[in-house]
Amino acid sequence: MSKTVGIGITGGIAVYKIAELLSRLKKDDIDVIVMMTESATKFVAPLTFRTLSGREVLTDLWQESQEWKVQHIGVAEALDLLVIAPATANFIAKMAHGIADDLLSTVVLANTAPVLVAPAMNSNMYKNAVVQDNIKKLRAYGCRIMEPDTGILACGSSGPGRLPEVGDIYEEIKRLLFTKKDLLGKRLMVNAGTTCEDIDPVRFICNRGTGKMGYCIAQEAVNRGADVLLVTGRSHLEPPKDVKVFNVWGAEEMCEVMLKYQPACDIIIGAAAVGDFKIAQVAEQKIKKQDDRSEILVVELVGTPDILKEMGKNKVPNQILVGFAAETQNLIENAQKKLKTKNLDFIVANDITMEGAGFASDTNIVSLIERSGEIKSLPKMSKQDVAMAIIDKVAELLKKN
């Protein structure tokens, strides 16, 4: 069955590169609907894309259409994938805030297909806090964001902001259109977020985990056909669609839920930032401070359950168990120790002190360490891509079972 891709082209010097992308897609017999903003037409005439796509290029929200009764709705419903490339800072802002004032932005709001965004702009614009915040919003909404390339830009400056290579965009489109369903019939359970341990009815202790990594793993597993259980501690993120969510608070509750469902799972991934300690005696009432602030509050901490270690004890044949090792020193040595003591099939190790890795970041730098001792170190990449690499490794192990 033929696939239909919508390519939304916004106004940037990289517009000319989309002609090559369109040509490659058409050679694969992929139907392409091109939509251009008014600014984009100032760089390349719509005639170029009409010739390559074999169909009319859409530029005007108000133009009459013979193909669709309501053009922007009809286009959105026809798409298997929507690609915004190049995506300018202005259009990213419009997407992030739901502004629909032209054809393309209206199609974005009406679209229900996956969305791929390839930013391209000046480095200072790309690094601007407002632009980064808008990109984070799009990720949270489920958009797939490609990291821009680094190099000499049209303005003469150098840095991140170049449109990703056409070949990379093409490969990402093919991956999103023809996602492998190698986890069909498998049940995967992943934990995410941070556990919280009460001090009193008002206060609690937790850590810096946000849930981003675990939520990305859940999304990737769903995309590849798995029945997914997400056991999540505290997180501000919206859970992925089509997963069964268990909201928990403390480490003990998380452990109980995961042990309960472990026998029914083929794959278990521990991505949550589980606290190692809890308060020995939780106060029944709010702990009050003295007006002169002279007192010192001393709390006794005791250990929490080691969830993965408990699951490692109960692991059944052919069940795959994966853990994370977030370390600040001796990364490989500490990760290998956890791999053995918790009876894991492989462990994802990351040094949270590295720039672009660890808590709250949209990217991560990890190494996949197997029981055999093989270590695969990955470059800095988005947590979505890290999730893909983890599920690839899981799928590889499933074939061997």
pLDDT tens-digit map of 67-114: 776 778 889 999 999 999 999 999 999 999 999 999 999 999 999 999
Specify the pLDDT at position 1. 54
What is the value of pTM for the model shown?
0.73
Specify the pLDDT at position 293. 66
**Angle between helix 103-110 and helix 89-96 axes, rounded to 10 deg:** 40
Domain boundaries, the chain: 4-177, 187-400
Specify the pLDDT at position 179. 78
* CATH number for the domain formed by residue range(s) 4-177: 3.40.50.1950
pLDDT above 80 for 340: yes
Specify the pLDDT at position 294. 67
Residue-wise pLDDT tens digits, 268-312: 999 999 999 999 999 999 988 777 666 778 889 999 999 999 999
Write b or e for each residue in 224-253: b if 16 or more Cβ atoms lie within 10 A of its Cβ, otherwise e.
bbbbbbbbbbbbebebbeebeebebebbeb
* CATH number for the domain formed by residue range(s) 187-400: 3.40.50.10300
The catalytic residues are 155
Burial class (CB in 10 A: 0-12, 13-18, 19+), 290: exposed
pLDDT above 60 for 145: yes
- Higher-confidence position of 247 and 361: 247
